[in-house]
Structure 1
């Protein structure tokens, strides 16, 4: 089925983001837009039609990750169910998949291109924290949890869920208990909720 004139093929955008992830991991900020286009199998014009710069690519990569991790917050489940699903999504992203390459790539990019690193943080982990904070604030307003400082509580929960997973992934070392993510997520959610139950 042919596309209408001016319609963007989302598969090409995904191929560009996948290529950028690989190249940032391999070369850091030295990865060029030309290399990204070649790796993605698209023309330079197609690349620039979607992303004007590496900064725009960084923002898109971060948004894609944040959307995936925070999907459980858009469900209608009870706090235990939602927080367990959120923790599973967070851990799966860090422990499995391309997270190691992405984190190492970001570490390489940071000193040479702090604007890209800041954009990736703000649009990815920073945005995920803001969404979790907003969700926790809503649970407080509904009386399901008592969360006087949702921003701080969001950081507490993320830290509880991840533990040292970020550091292990960044360094490429073994994740003990990587096959027990659902159990770990449930325990994290249970303990967090116990700490923030209304009086």
Structure 2
């Protein structure tokens, strides 16, 4: 009997109209940083504030949905445990790495993370926790079952899926995100994007060299 590993999350169930609103909110974050208000989003998205409150509750609810929508760009592979092969595993890891890099080097992600870090340092509001829980931690929770399925299929060897995930994340992201957040002039977004495919392959090769249980992975 086939037992698929399906990573289905609520972040990806927004209606097209809600997606348009969340895209407007992300655009405003890029333009204004802290200047995200229900009034501004309603005006940009051509909807009423009443609709925003109905869909998202309060400003924190809107921020949460906005971060979830951004994090949903990192698609999660769906694999079949009984037919998980070395090829499928590699393709799944490469897809995750490609989406992750493409998302975190974008202007939206950089602005969102910078704003969240500033708010956390100032204890200004809950944006820091919202970004942490619905961004990095949510993405982690989606990939770990794939790693565990690969371990069950004897394609990977590790004691802790958390440690394995952190290793893979580190190999994929390296110092790119922190350098972009700090405005390293030697590292441009276009340069990173141009090298994403090479970086994805290198990170996957390195991870499988560390954790692969079979030489043909």
Settle same-fold status: TM greater than 0.5: yes
Separation (CA, whole Å) in 1 of partners of 2:25 and 2:119: 12
TM-score (norm. length: structure 1): 0.83
Task: Decide which of 47, 61, 64 is 1:42's aligned counterpart.
Answer: 47
Mean Cα deviation higher: 20-29 or 179-188? 20-29
Separation (CA, whole Å) in 2 of partners of 1:192 and 1:82: 13
- CA deviations 1:53-93 (Å, max 9, x no partner) are 1221222123223332133x225662211111111111111
* DSSP-derived class of the 2:43 partner: helix
Q: Match for residue 88 of structure 1?
A: 98
Separation (CA, whole Å) in 2 of partners of 1:189 and 1:79: 10
Does the 8 Å contact 2:30/2:107 carry over to 1? Answer: no
Q: Does 2:150 correspond to 1:139?
A: yes
Q: Match for residue 196 of structure 1?
A: 211
Unaligned regions of 5+ residues in structure 2, if any? 1-13, 81-86
Unaligned regions of 5+ residues in structure 1, if any? 1-8
- CA deviations 1:123-147 (Å, max 9, x no partner) are 1110111122221111111111112
Deviation at 1:28, TM superposition (A): 4.3
Query: Where is the helix percentage greater, Structure 1 or Structure 2?
Result: 1
Separation (CA, whole Å) in 2 of partners of 1:24 and 1:33: 12
Q: Match for residue 61 of structure 1?
A: 66
* DSSP-derived class of the 1:178 partner: helix
Q: 1:22 to 1:134 in 2, by over 3 A?
A: same
- CA deviations 1:135-182 (Å, max 9, x no partner) are 111111111111210011111111110112212332344334430211
Q: Match for residue 3 of structure 1?
A: none
Does the 8 Å contact 2:97/2:200 carry over to 1? Answer: yes
Does the 8 Å contact 1:146/1:198 carry over to 2? Answer: yes
Separation (CA, whole Å) in 2 of partners of 1:30 and 1:178: 28
RMSD over aligned Cα atoms = 2.3
Does the 8 Å contact 2:33/2:112 carry over to 1? Answer: no
Task: Decide which of 156, 161, 176 is 1:165's aligned counterpart.
Answer: 176
Mean Cα deviation higher: 82-91 or 102-111? 102-111
TM-score (norm. length: structure 2): 0.77
Mean Cα deviation higher: 55-64 or 140-149? 55-64
